[in-house]
Structure 1
């Protein structure tokens, strides 16, 4: 029993590779969604990277001001993450207090 080999257009391959490289979606997820074997998509992505399709237009290296901005944003993200964790603890405590008061009122 022979197998039939599927063929894909260049546009189809390019769109699939764009999902992985530009939208930064996992290869396995994209492969599942479009109905292509994961190894096939990995090969397409590797070929695109080798041909330079996924190159960063900015040259790849960060300038001094970009690096400073990145460090500032990472520090801000760390602060906001800590603040978010503290607020979550406060909400959990408030829920416990509200539950305790609700039980006490009965």
Structure 2
């Protein structure tokens, strides 16, 4: 396990979770992720990526929501857990992510090579 994999696991544990509205897609769209995050996502074809981009969507998004929810990238995990990335439907965890964790997530994203999901 690489240093980035360990940091990714640590940050994922520190981001609080909450229940989204079933089938909600309001926060989903094209995002970037690190190589370590991409390695954990199901492989999608170039055609699936292209079709999602045309729809300004994510290739892991299906009719009932995210098909890769358990392995979703850090940026997706932050949505709804911080006032800066608030859920448009008002969903949120009991306790929002602490500012230090949010800063560390953004630092991780800046320090790792990001690719379009």
TM-score range, shorter chain: under 0.3
Compare CA radii of gyration and give the structure with the larger one. 1
TM-score (norm 2): 0.24
| Higher helix proportion | 1
Q: Which has the higher contact order (CA 8 A, sep 6+)?
A: 2
TM-score (norm 1): 0.26
